Amino acid sequence: MSVDRAWRGAQELTVQFDGDGDSVRALAYPELVGEPVVGDRVLVNASALDRELGTGGYALVIALPERLPADPPPTPGHLVKARYTPMQTLVLGVDEQESEHHRVLAEADDLLDMPVVVADLHSALPAIIAGARHAAQRAGIAPPRVAYVMTDGGALPAWFSRNVSGLRAAGWLETCVTVGQAFGGDLEAATVHTGLLAARHVSGADIAVVAQGPGNLGTGTRWGFSGVAAGEAINAVAALRGRPVAALRISGADKRSRHHGVSHHSLTAYGRVALARADVVVPDLAGSTDPDLVALGVKVDLQVTGLGGRSCGHRLVRIPVTDLYDALEASPVALSTMGRGLPDDPAAFLASAAAGAHAAALYREARGPARLPSHARDDH
């Protein structure tokens, strides 16, 4: 075994199997299994890797059977995440009674018009922030403080995400709040609702992004995918009097017809699951100098027609993308969705960046000392 690299909360290993001598990349979470060193024997779960499923190309370390970690010291907190699995973990929830923030969240009931961008895929996160920062720069205001509310439709440990680690290190991401069964964020919360309230009232975020962790479940059916939760997130934001912003999942490179143009994931989540009104951001691809993007834009415009007007009640907001490509290239983390980078599928990232740009415009519109929590910044 060799230890190849590490980032916040995770270590990447090369593990050699007994017997045949084959080796695979594996991932260990030291807080759960201890810190592997060269020469350790490791027990790994390679089931999804063997089936070539979307696990990020890793086997996962279950234990160091010959060198078990020490028992963790007693700490406050009784939220159990990944409940009733062998790897369940006990955390201190920002919203539970032992938390210093419990009183704040017991009384909090309003996001104070905070814009919240909802996306299907985790890969949208850096693009959304890039768009928000670019729009703020153009408006002559400081970059907004962004909180990421990570739901449990994909990876449960936030440690799996190199995006979160890299964005936090670069100062692009203020905090990560892990909700539901997800864990490992800067803050832990029981639900999307308290996660959003913590983003606003504890971390003082100007904008929040809600998306599942890396990876997602899809069955090729209308309702059988983890991204249906994006529609429920729109409802949560509206219930808490935030400003829901729906980021479309768009692709010009996906060979699957159900995901080409606007993915059926977005059409179902926002068109059928979301019961509250949201701003659905449509990137204006017609203004591009790329003829392929212009042609894709025609298809996208037709697909989103049903999301606006009386049928769903959403507001379709068209955002120019002519200067967003350069903003995306400035991302401190690599942009990748379904194995494709920015040059391979620019529409995917432009759509997310456009949603971030719109959220920044809403923040600028709504900001003001009277509308901010007492501990949030008002120096914009």
pTM: 0.92
What ranges in the chain are assigned the alpha helix state H?
Answer: 30-33, 47-50, 102-107, 124-139, 162-169, 192-201, 229-239, 264-268, 291-303, 309-312, 324-329, 346-366
Q: What is the pLDDT of residue 3?
A: 85
d(CA 277, CA 247): 14
DSSP state of 204: -
pLDDT of residue 376: 34
Task: Give the separation between CA 306 and CA 313, rounded to whole angstroms.
Answer: 9
User: What are the domain boundaries of the chain?
Assistant: 2-63, 103-371
How many other C-beta atoms are found inside a 10 Å radius of the C-beta of residue 377?
A: 14
Amino acid (one-letter) located at 160? F
Distance CA 284, CA 288 (A): 8
**Measured CA angle at 359 (ends 317, 147), to 5 deg:** 145
Query: Cβ contacts of residue 85 below 8 Å, gap of 6+?
Result: none
Burial 250-286 (b: 16+ CB within 10 A, else e): bbbbbeeeebbbbbbbbbbbbbebbeeebbbbbbbbb
pLDDT at 56: 67
What's the 3-state SS for 157-203? Answer: EHHHCHHHHHHHHCCCCCEEEEECCCECCCEEECCHHHHHHHHHHCC
Per-run averaged pLDDT (10 residues), the chain, 380 residues: 89 86 89 91 88 77 90 88 93 96 96 97 98 96 97 96 97 98 98 98 98 92 93 98 98 93 96 96 93 96 87 90 96 95 97 98 75 36
Return the CATH fold of 103-371.
Rossmann fold (3.40.50)
Q: What is the pLDDT of residue 22?
A: 84
Give pLDDT, residue 310: 64
